[in-house]
Structure 1
């Protein structure tokens, strides 16, 4: 019995050793992939400038290996111009500034009244004086919004003609040479005008319109109209004015219109007109002659570079005659 326990214990130790060895090998393989041991260094092609023969450009890099990941990549580079050493651009950062030249910022000047710009002089703090300028100038536009502050006046009464009101802003803080001393603001009036509605008048038989008068009840008389007159079309009942429609006349070739007459039916309102003429434009083929043709014939022989065929015109005028002939080049 004791031998069985010993054998089982030894078997478990052997299995644990085998698993530990496999796990160690897997970890070593992953570590070697992360470190890129099986990847060769980049090999670059010649740098090609983006514009012209020198300046900023791009170069293509390649590498080989089983665990490289990317094998091709484009890198930024610089092609030196004539008289410029290849290392002259190495000290520049991505924004084009020179890392070797550092400057101490000065104080911004007052805003120039004509150009609306302010300037600052920067003095060389670190760098080779033979390669770095001793001073640099920096300019930027003035911000009027923060420098100019105004006192707001009261809004004026509303102008009844333009329906606008205005207020004047007076300079309270800021340079009078760069800030406007007075500003005028305008905006639409939002006055409350309320009216009392009068009764509608009788319908005018000639214009078919009725009207009502509105009288000012609430609001500023200087900005609101004291009276308003509103007109609209009369809405008679369905049986008030009913007409019998006549036939449309033939289309007039000169005016390209047609007419018909509406006659008032019996039992309609006496204020309705007895007859009403209607005029409309002719649509589509109403203004054209009606044409009737026979069958098409065969195309003729080629004459003067043209072949033609005809069909018999049985009914129609001059416009129909044009549609009875077809031609094609030959």
Structure 2
């Protein structure tokens, strides 16, 4: 009995060892793949120079393996020139650029007035003449070196409402800078040299439908300003407000023109300026073919009743909708 128990115990130990070994192998395989151990190192082709037989260039790298991301990639490199060792990569940046070309900077030339550009020449001071340019030319825009003395502003021109002043060259090349410049600008409102008093408007001229007034120059204004200035304006509505008319009733609707008319007689105003009679016409209907409302004169407001006053006008022509507009009320 004791012998069977020992055999069973040994059997369990063997099974546990086998399972532990398999689990450890699975974990090792996963860890190996996760760390990219199933990817071989890069293998490079020969470096090829971009220009000529030596200097800055590129090389193609390849790698193999089931767990690689990129399997092909271009890397920067340098092909050594004659007299240089392959290890002379000092002085090159991370992208393979050459830092060993040093130049002496020449002075900037005079500004070209046509192109407004100036230039200077860089001459090779240090570096391999087979890979470095022996001369370089730099160009840039000229800064403005034309300085001017500003003259005083002139008086305001009443015709153009402009004033001007002259700028005289103080510093700069006279071959490229203007010797004199004239600048102009509008006179500020409220500070113009010409200021006027406004006269009264005349009555409206019935023939021209206009009215006039005269502007008189104020004291202290510029002597070059006109002493007086006439102004003309169209009468509002083409009618003189001083001409008052008394109108008769609206006529019947003319079937051919679909128009009604009424005639007004001059009641108040200058007969030499106002028309003696005036005819007003209106269409008999409005948009949609509905009848237009035609009314007589308004009557006076009634006495106060129930907190309101009321006045009416006679409806000459129109339907039930017009009747509502023939009455006005106001609180009292």
Normalising by structure 1, what TM-score?
Answer: 0.29
Deviations 1:209-259 (A, max 9, x none): 121111112233234322221111123645866689999999999999999
- The answer to whether the 8 A contact 1:191-1:220 is kept is no
Q: How far did residue 48 of structure 1 move?
A: 41
Structure index of larger Rg: 2
Q: Secondary structure at the match of 1:22?
A: helix
- The answer to whether the 8 A contact 2:204-2:240 is kept is yes
Q: Closer, same or farther in 2 for the Cα pair 1:182/1:250, shift >3 Å?
A: farther
Q: Closer, same or farther in 2 for the Cα pair 1:324/1:169, shift >3 Å?
A: farther
- The answer to whether the 8 A contact 1:213-1:227 is kept is yes
Aligned residue in 1 for 2:8: 8
* In 2: Cα distance, 1:170 partner to 1:64 partner: 48
* In 1: Cα distance, 2:130 partner to 2:64 partner: 69
Aligned residue in 2 for 1:268: 221
Q: Secondary structure at the match of 1:258?
A: strand
- The answer to whether the 8 A contact 1:312-1:324 is kept is yes
Alignment coverage as a number of residue pairs: 283
Q: How far did residue 181 of structure 1 move?
A: 3.7
Q: Closer, same or farther in 2 for the Cα pair 1:302/1:210, shift >3 Å?
A: closer
- The answer to whether the 8 A contact 1:169-1:184 is kept is yes
* In 1: Cα distance, 2:42 partner to 2:28 partner: 25
* In 1: Cα distance, 2:153 partner to 2:330 partner: 71
Deviations 1:262-315 (A, max 9, x none): 999999878779999999999999999999999999999999999999999999
Gapped regions of structure 1 (runs ≥ 5): 102-148
Q: How far did residue 10 of structure 1 move?
A: 53
Gapped regions of structure 2 (runs ≥ 5): 243-291
* In 2: Cα distance, 1:277 partner to 1:227 partner: 39
Q: How far did residue 166 of structure 1 move?
A: 1.0
Q: Closer, same or farther in 2 for the Cα pair 1:304/1:194, shift >3 Å?
A: same
- The answer to whether the 8 A contact 1:308-1:325 is kept is yes
RMSD: 20.5
* In 1: Cα distance, 2:76 partner to 2:217 partner: 91
Aligned residue in 2 for 1:285: 238
* In 2: Cα distance, 1:174 partner to 1:199 partner: 59
Q: Secondary structure at the match of 1:7?
A: helix
Q: Closer, same or farther in 2 for the Cα pair 1:65/1:150, shift >3 Å?
A: closer
Normalising by structure 2, what TM-score?
Answer: 0.29
Q: Closer, same or farther in 2 for the Cα pair 1:94/1:268, shift >3 Å?
A: closer
